[in-house]
A and B are shown apart, each in its own frame.
Chain A
Amino acid sequence: MLILKTVSVEPKHGWAIGKRIQQISSDVLQVQQGSLYPALHRLEQQGWIKGRMAATETGRQAKFYSLTRAGRAQLEQELANWARLSSAVNAVAQMA
């Protein structure tokens, strides 16, 4: 879900995705590159993100991932699920 959200804004390559998640979550979520890349490939295989070779700002070749339409639908569904789950957990946790 996090990956989908990250690329939903703009296409990014794997390295950037990892860094961004780390950054936004204020280093709470440390992304292991070793698990990120297989996950990216799996998502691509599922058809929720699309990969494309392109040049970075520094001119290097990298694979940029962007969200597909199906991916956007999946993202929305997952976000909705997460919202429901987290509010339920919160409700129980705050139940004194």
Chain B
Amino acid sequence: MRWLHKLRLRLRSLVSRAQVERELDVELRFLLDSQIEENLAAGMNSEEARHAALRSIGGLAHLAEQCRDMRRVNFLADLAQDLRYAGRMLARSPGFTAVAVVSLALGIGANTAIYSFLESVLIRSLPVHDPASLVTLNWHTKGRVRSGRPTVIKHGNVNYYFAKAGFTGPTLPFPAFELFRTGSPVFSSVFAYSDAGSLNLVVHGEASLTRAQFVSGEFFRGLGVTPAAGRPIDAADDRAGATPVAVASYRLWQNRFGGTPNIAGESILVDNLAFAVVGVAPAGFYGPGSFNAGMEPDLYLPLHTSTLLDASYPAVPWNDKFSDKNNYWVEIMGRLRPGVGIGQAQAVLGPMFQRFAADTASNDKEKADLPALLLQPSAKGFESLRLTYAQPIYVLMAMVGLILAIACANLANLLLARATTRRREIAVRLSLGAGRLRILRQLLTESVLLASMGGALGIVVAVWGIRSLTLLLANGRDGFTLHAGLNWHVLAVTILLSILTGLLFGLAPAIQATRVDVTPALKESRLGKSHARVSLSQFLVVAQMAISLLLVAGAGLFVRTVSNLQRMDVGINREQVLLLTVNAKQGGFKDDSLVRFYAGLQTRLAGVPGVRNVSLSNVAPLLGGFLAFRVAVPGAPADQPGLWPIAGLLVGHSYFQTMQLPLLRGRGIDEEDTLGARGVGVVNEEFVKTYFSGGNPIGRHFQLISSFSGVEPADIEIAGVSRNSRELGSIRRAILPTVYIPYSRGQQYLTSMVYEVRTAGDPRSFVPTIRQLVRQAGARIPVTGVKTLANQGDQAINQERILAMLSAAVAILAMAIASVGIYGTVAYGVARRTNEIGVRMALGAQRQHVVWMVLREVFALSIAGIAIGLPVAFGASHLVQSLLFAVKPNDPVALTLAVAILFGSAALAAFAPARRASRIDPMAALRHE
């Protein structure tokens, strides 16, 4: 209990300090008086008595201090005192404080924002039970899987990526799934899933496109999630012939069903087929699968219903995909039994799959490169966002890390500058008897306080940064719902870093300052001795400049890339065109009625006042998709089997007028073509160059062979030649030989169509009218992807745009921080050398000379920084070459601009203090200490 009492006393010493001090004062005064009385009684007079008393006691202040020491609350009390003092000192120089805190906040905030965002987008573990024990089953081959190469992987969704040696993909045949499901001692559960894409969901009469996923019966149980309502899909539902059921996502339940508790039994239409909702997934749930962050499925359907839904796509023989051993379409995941490692599982299942695959090989060549089973931990999924954005994000991470470096250098410089100006104050305190340690502690407290303030503000910056990044990435995509949370680890690390910087750079000058020999410091007024101690500060400024140069040069490269991409001639006129995607197939139309619907809609749209042209195509321009074909042209060498080098587009009439894609010969697709049975087509220049050696192809015929199995080759007569354009395929890709055929001739490929509406005036103002029109044509038909062609173009280069914007922002930030740092350093330098400047001016130096004197040093530092930064920029730019477009890594324009910007901002930053230096009144300066 004694410690409690002790604690109370210590707290009392801390809290009611004033009273404790008063008591001490009274006590010691009493002591003094008593001693004086004794002395008087011994016969001294009052003077002597007093002196003798003081002598024998040894100094009241000293005694009081000793008593205080005994109370042993020094640490806390001193800390409080230090903090208060630090606060006062910081408030006394608000400019310095603001600069240091803001630059730190920006550095910390930017870093945290990027890393948090990175974590949410790239590295997410599944929100399920024990994700660490989940493994995905993939195939792995040494050779490339490409149609034409002998392989057992005949068809299926063959997405693959480059593995260590060879290729890997996530899909396997359904019979393989059954194999693993039945005889596997290593998995406690095995389940399969497959992306269903966007399906037309009708709830209570309202249609919308909804992302869906096919899952096997074990899916929810295997992941270990319990539904928020109702029941999950189970094995009984996942059978051929079972009643179609569905599980809704939490989000869908809230948005479309209003969160009703009677969700089980609600009936919905999925692509015009009746399903019954049986349950709701938990809030925030998403399972494995290759979908982008923010676009998780809203509907989970049993795997076997995929045959029902696929039935509307006759050209593609999916109906036997549950028994076809060569169709690699389903993704499989298993949960390892406790105690079983992934290596063990691989050793058991690998041979099983090998026997299976060997059975499916139809000849020896296929046997030579059988796919092997490869198990991978679930974290390494196929998230396409990660793969697409990985490199730019790493580049950004590096850039933002450099900002933190600049900010810390700023802090260091400012602290150094301050320490120098406070030498006198420190000398005085030392001479008054303050301990060195005590002064050091106080200086350090100041630095730490500064760093902490920067950290606190940094949190605000980080939160705002994350929000902005999310907005940037969403960029108008439908249904993007990524919520990046603040990554507290990173925040803690960056704050720690800033505190460490504060400690380190508060320490070095503090030690230097307290080592000072007191007398010269006290006398110091005339001598503006500076240069030995300035070297560290100079080094920091040079480093800042070098880093800033690097960032500005990098930003310049990325910005030029985007500018090149945007200005590139795509061949079509992007302005004033509205796009909308209409999927009448999901609304129940098919074959002839589908064609008639699309044609009818085109006519109706053309009738809207203000619309100049309307056309349609099966893929939106600038999106990058097309049908792949092979051709057989009489008189030209045949294409190699297995290659599909021709791009094909299904278009409506007036396509070329609407897109303003010039026709070099012949005519475009007209209305008769779309109604008639003639097989005509328009080809582009590249096609003519490849197959007709540049001659006149009008009227010539060729065979168009589809990559879809089951589609007969079509005989096409060339009716026109169009100029090359880049509206298909990625902008960066080489131009492909292209053929445009009327969509009425490609019924087997028809699903959704994209309408291009060229308007007089702002296309967006036509949106309500057009939506109304489509709804009139068919209420159950979803309309999506409504945007202008110009926006579509921006979306196509979204990655490059984001990179350019962010790197520019980073570069501007870096320059701002560095400039402010330069300003501060120079200002302090001038203040310190006020005396020296005064002397010079008194001796006759001109104002301009003084300005030049100050600027000269800054220029010297800038040149040093550029000298270091330029070669580094050279080297680094080669690393990011793959991100650039039509810009050489050592682009002289970007580099020259960067150097100029750097020089300019350094000069600007130093100009104000330099001018102030020249305005110094020599008389005042000479008196200044």
Interface residues of A (CB under 8 A from B): 13-15, 33-34, 37-42, 44-47, 51, 53, 56, 60-63, 68, 70
Contacts and interface: CB of A to CB of B under 8 A. Distances in A.
B56 A41 contact: no
A63 B67 contact: no
Contact of B23 (A15, A40, A51, A68): A51
B77 to A, nearest CB: 13
A37 to B, nearest CB: 6
B31 interface: yes
Given A47-B6, A53-B23, A37 B31 contact: yes
Contact of A33 (B6, B9, B57): B57
Contacts of A60: 30, 33
A47 B5 contact: yes
Interface in B1-55: 1-2, 5-6, 9-10, 23, 26-28, 30-31, 33-35
Contacts of B34: 15
Contacts of A53: 23, 26
Contacts of A44: 9
A45 B23 contact: no
Given A34-B57, A47-B6, A47-B9, A41 B67 contact: yes
Contacts of B26: 53, 61-63
Nearest to B27: A63
Nearest to B62: A34
A53 B28 CA distance: 12
Contacts of A14: 27, 30-31
A33 B30 contact: no
Chain A binding surface SS class: helix
B72 interface: yes
A60 B56 CA distance: 22
B521 to A, nearest CB: 33
Residues of B in contact with A, size category? 20 to 34
A39 B69 CA distance: 11
B711 interface: no
B67 A61 contact: no
B31 A41 contact: no
B483 to A, nearest CB: 54
Interface string B60-98: 001100111111100000000000000000000000000
Contacts of B62: 34
A92 to B, nearest CB: 35
B58 interface: yes
B63 A37 contact: yes
Nearest to B30: A62
B33 A45 contact: no
Contact of B27 (A34, A42, A45, A62): A62
A38 B60 CA distance: 12
7 contacts: A13-B30, A34-B62, A37-B31, A37-B63, A38-B63, A47-B5, A70-B5
A38 B27 contact: no
Contact of A45 (B30, B58, B66, B72): B72
Contacts of A56: 30
B63 A70 contact: no
Given A15-B31, A47-B2, A61-B26, 9 more contacts: A14-B31, A15-B35, A33-B57, A34-B57, A41-B68, A45-B71, A47-B9, A51-B23, A61-B30
Interface in B720-734: none
Contacts of A15: 30-31, 34-35
Given A46-B6, A47-B5, A70-B5, A38 B30 contact: no
Contact of A38 (B6, B35, B66): B66
Contacts of A13: 27, 30
Contacts of B67: 37-38, 40-41
A56 B31 CA distance: 12
Interface string B652-665: 00000000000000
Nearest to B6: A47
A14 B9 CA distance: 19
Contact of B9 (A34, A37, A38, A45): A45
A34 B63 contact: yes
Nearest to A51: B23
Contacts of A42: 70
Nearest to A38: B66
A37 B28 contact: yes
A45 B74 CA distance: 13
B23 A38 contact: no
Nearest to B5: A47
A38 B71 CA distance: 9
Contacts of B69: 38
Nearest to B73: A45
A33 B68 CA distance: 15
Contacts of B5: 47, 68, 70
B27 A33 contact: no
Interface in B342-389: none
A62 B26 CA distance: 7
A42 B10 CA distance: 12
Contacts of B66: 34, 37-38
